[in-house]
Amino acid sequence: MVSSRPAAGARSRPVSLRRRGPVLERAILEAALEQLSRVGWNGLTMEGVAAGAQTGKAAVYRRWPSKEDLVADALQAGLPTFGEAPDHGSVREDLYQLCRRMRDAMYSLPGAALRAVVHECDGPTAERFHGLIFSGVIEPSNRLFGEVVCRGIQRGDVRPDATGELVFDVIPALMMYRSKMCASEWPDEDIAEMIDRVMVPLLRARPV
């Protein structure tokens, strides 16, 4: 009598789903982000991504010949958006709400993947992602900070010369530094303290 049960070796094979085109590509990109967030840049492999997407390794290599190519497209597809600049009537509240958005983006799946790339890649590899990070993260966040500060200048609660890249870099630099070096996850109270003790004094209009 022939057993209807599959052999042990057959049970151990990974399941491969029959998907093609954009559906398969989306599954691979999502698996790459998940791998990056879980094992980091150094731990990510094309084989691991294929297993996460439940497809064959060849399907990954046909579309992306290298890990760098795959990660670049995964980040491009998954980078978070920050929306419009908040407008709550005060620069303090606007910055607080904007920083909460940034915190949520940092700790999303794409945000964790992006931090893995920034923190772990060597110089030549990081250069590959510089343009993507600048256009997808730095430029949009600076634009929103700029809008908040310019509204504050118009209201008279921000000094007119409190603009420029160095000023706009303070919040992202603090958040990235304390996230990496101090393992801070930026709870709301820490964001409020950063705004009240660092940014508001930095931006405050000088008394006449």
- The confidence score (pLDDT) of residue 19 equals 61
Domain layout of the chain by residue ranges: 15-73, 91-203
The string of pLDDT tens digits covering residues 121-136 is: 877 887 888 888 888 8
64 with 24: CB under 8 angstroms?
no
Is the pLDDT confidence value at 66 over 90?
Answer: yes
To 5 degrees, how large is the angle CA 52–CA 56–CA 58? 125
- The confidence score (pLDDT) of residue 191 equals 97
The string of pLDDT tens digits covering residues 171-201 is: 999 998 998 888 889 999 999 999 999 999 9
- The confidence score (pLDDT) of residue 58 equals 94
52 with 35: CB under 8 angstroms?
yes
- The confidence score (pLDDT) of residue 175 equals 92
How far is residue 126 CA from its own chain's centroid?
15
- What CA–CA distance (Å, rounded) separates 27 from 25? 5
Q: Which CATH number fits domain 91-203: 1.10.357, 3.40.1350, 1.25.40, 3.30.420?
A: 1.10.357
Q: Which 3-state string (H, E, C) describes the chain? A: CCCCCCCHHHHHCCCCCCCCHHHHHHHHHHHHHHHHHHHHHHHCCHHHHHHHCCCCHHHHHHHCCCHHHHHHHHHHHHCCCCCCCCCCCCHHHHHHHHHHHHHHHHCCHHHHHHHHHHHHCCHHHHHHHHHHHHHHHHHHHHHHHHHHHHHHHHHCCECCCCCCHHHHHHHHHHHHHHHHHCCCCCCHHHHHHHHHHHHHHHHECCCC
Is the pLDDT confidence value at 61 over 90?
Answer: yes
Same fold: 15-73 with 91-203: no
More confident residue, 114 or 1: 114
The residue whose two tokens read 């094992």 is 39
The string of pLDDT tens digits covering residues 80-128 is: 777 889 999 999 999 999 999 999 998 898 888 888 888 888 778 878 8
Third-level CATH fold of 15-73: Arc Repressor Mutant, subunit A (1.10.10)
pLDDT category, 18, cuts 50, 70, 90?
Answer: low
- The confidence score (pLDDT) of residue 67 equals 93
Of 68-77, 115-124, 136-145, 149-158, where does mean pLDDT reach its minimum? 115-124
Of 60, 64, 105, 59, the closest CA to residue 82 belongs to 105
- The confidence score (pLDDT) of residue 2 equals 40
